[in-house]
Amino acid sequence: MSSKWSPIPGGITVARGFKASGISAGLKSSGKPDLALLVAPKGAVCAGTFTQSLARAACVDLCIERLKVTAGRTRAVLINSGQANACTGDRGLIDSLRATQALADQLGLMPDEMLICSTGVIGVPIPIHNLLASLEHLIDSLNEGGGSDAAKAILTTDLVDKQFAFEANLGGRCVHIGGMAKGSGMIHPNMSTMLGYLTCDVGLPVDAWQSMVTRVVENSFNAVSVDGDSSTNDSLVAFAAGETLAAEYWDDLEEGLMALAQHLAKAIARDGEGANCLLEVVVKGTASAAEAQRIARTIVSSALVKTAVHGCDPNWGRILAAAGRAGVKFMPEDVCLWIGPIQLMEAGKPLRFDAHAASRYIKERMNGAYLNDDCVSICLVIGHGIWEGSAWGCDLSDQYVRINADYTT
């Protein structure tokens, strides 16, 4: 990332003018926070990317429709956790409409300016009466420091909240960008992330903002996989509001957004259900960035690669097998491969290597045991092209099976 951008404490409310809140509305039996609200200042523009699944929740279709109707002039997003409200028949849309109508009435805005996102168990509707009864408290709790409360309220099986923020001097003023996300299982997005939110305190034309967000998503949230399963509710919503930023600084802004989104994507992979380490796959030498990312994502999604990492087994054949089925042509005789600093292949031929050292490299990074570094790195060079791409995931453990075998029982 460019030295223009520096990390700062906070999340979605570091951007000037944004307010957020997160409360317990009785949607979860655990009593943990389960309802969040993000409100953007007047004049904000909103961009979004959403799941491509045909079995998507009604709230996803509602968000897509409202962003079109308002031409991106959306002001708020309501987020509930505990229930995906997907595959619930007509009730899914009815409850989403009731919730956003009630929220609009209390905020003094139009219903079309309200978005709603849900996360939790598929097939389970929102306890809508609890939600409606909690809106007044949710709105009263809105504040410019409420990003942390909101980040906690959107969690499901996550072990930690995920929020980051950066600032930079662009065009003679300090620009802030912040974000939060949730996700731990059912992570293999086909649009963006599980649930993710970005904010920025500069003004941009909505079409330029949407294009920027789409590019950022493709190389961050669309490059992460925990278990190969895409959700019914994947949604990424991004707001920009403030004094107009000159077009000459848009590339700098996109660079910061990319760094922010990649931080959040890695946090999701690191917090994968049952995960012990972050897995990063870098592919180089392709004819396009898309080809590199496709191979990287195939490798990072492979159950055989992920279980080998969990077992600290440098079984490099699984890596090559995954690359070979990614649908990208390459010459096997060009392949070079590394696990961490240890080279395993050169010009398509296996090298003699210290298997114990390679295993130790992985083992030391389990749970960040090595200098607080929990990232296992795999680098694959497949040709002489100038492009490269990255993807992130985690190991696949027996704990993942236990968590998901008993998810609703």
- Integer angstrom CA distances of residue 331 from 7, 271, 285, 346: 41, 35, 11, 13
Amino acid residing at 234 = D
**Model-level pTM?**
0.90
| Structural domains of the chain ordered from first start | 6-268 (3.60.70.12), 278-405 (3.10.20.340)
**pLDDT at 189 (0 to 100):** 62
Contact 155, 27 (CB under 8 A): no
User: Please, what are the averages of pLDDT over each run of 10 residues along the chain (409 residues)?
Assistant: 85 98 96 97 96 90 96 97 93 97 98 96 94 98 97 91 97 96 73 79 97 94 80 92 97 97 92 88 96 95 95 96 96 96 96 95 82 88 96 90 76
**pLDDT at 366 (0 to 100):** 85
Please say if 193 is a catalytic residue.
yes
Query: Residue 2 CB: number of other CB atoms within 10 A?
Result: 10
Alpha-helix runs per DSSP H in 271-335? 289-301, 303-310, 316-324
Coil, helix or strand at residue 249: helix
Query: Residue 241 CB: number of other CB atoms within 10 A?
Result: 22
Task: Out of 193, 199, 232, 286, pick the active-site residue.
Answer: 193
